[in-house]
């Protein structure tokens, strides 16, 4: 019998809906590290990530009755963390990198050999990207959102998301090559 991932930790979630503090703590313990990593990737600051994660859990527990198992609890919580992270960056007035008037063409890009890139270089490269590029790269490559979803999250068009992603990827390749 195949298990539906949406119902992972269902018993724990249902106990949390009744306000059971030990179940809330257990659910928190299961997800806090992963959610901290999501926040840290977006914010680049340990203290801000910790604050966002705490706020996200508080909101999640307050709104738990609206959780209807349309996704897994972890995916639902991750969406809260991402949205709070983006709102935090917006409040700090960190804009997306402005698009230039011309179209971006993938043919302009030189391919990189996969073996030549190590994970640490990629992480360092991402950390050096401008904030707007970093958001797009994190949402698309790390979190796995498609451009339609990214457009909704960042309140931009799908084509802007695609263009920003390609520009961010090109910039990331340049940074990695320079490392």
For residue 177, the tally of other CB atoms under 10 A from its CB is 13
Lowest-confidence region among 25-34, 39-48, 113-122: 113-122
| Residue 106 confidence (pLDDT) | 43
Please report which confidence band the pLDDT of residue 97 belongs to, taking 50, 70 and 90 as the band edges. Answer: low
CATH architecture for the domain at 5-91: Orthogonal Bundle (1.10)
Helices 73-91 and 147-154, interaxial angle, to 10°? Answer: 50
- Size (the chain), residues: 179
Is 106-178 CATH 1.10.10.10? yes
Position 10 pLDDT exceeds 90: no
| Residue 161 confidence (pLDDT) | 87
Q: What are the domain boundaries of the chain?
A: 5-91, 106-178
Task: Name the nearest CA neighbour of 34 among 63, 66, 9.
Answer: 9
Please report which confidence band the pLDDT of residue 70 belongs to, taking 50, 70 and 90 as the band edges. Answer: confident
| Residue 2 confidence (pLDDT) | 55
Lowest-confidence region among 11-20, 70-79, 101-110: 101-110
State what percent of residues in the chain have pLDDT above 90.
33
Q: At 145, is the secondary structure helix, strand, or coil?
A: coil
Q: pTM higher than 0.85 for the full model?
A: no
């Amino acid at each position: 019998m195949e298990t539906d991932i949406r119902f992972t930790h269902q018993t724990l979630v249902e106990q949390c809906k009744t306000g059971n503090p030990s179940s809330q703590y257990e659910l928190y313990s299961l997800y806090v590290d992963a959610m901290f990593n999501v926040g840290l990737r977006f914010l680049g600051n340990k203290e801000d990530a910790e604050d966002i994660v705490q706020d996200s859990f508080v909101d999640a527990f307050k709104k738990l009755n609206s959780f209807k198992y349309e996704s897994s609890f972890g995916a639902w919580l991750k969406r809260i963390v991402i949205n709070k992270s983006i709102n935090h960056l917006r409040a700090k007035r960190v804009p997306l990198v402005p698009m230039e008037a011309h179209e971006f063409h993938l043919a302009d890009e030189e391919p990189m050999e996969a073996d030549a890139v190590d994970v640490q270089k990629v992480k360092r490269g991402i950390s050096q990207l401008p904030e707007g590029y970093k958001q797009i790269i994190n949402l698309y490559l790390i979190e796995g959102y498609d451009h339609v979803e990214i457009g909704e999250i960042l309140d931009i068009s799908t084509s802007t998301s695609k263009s920003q992603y390609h520009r961010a990827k090109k910039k990331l390749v340049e940074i990695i090559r320079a490392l």
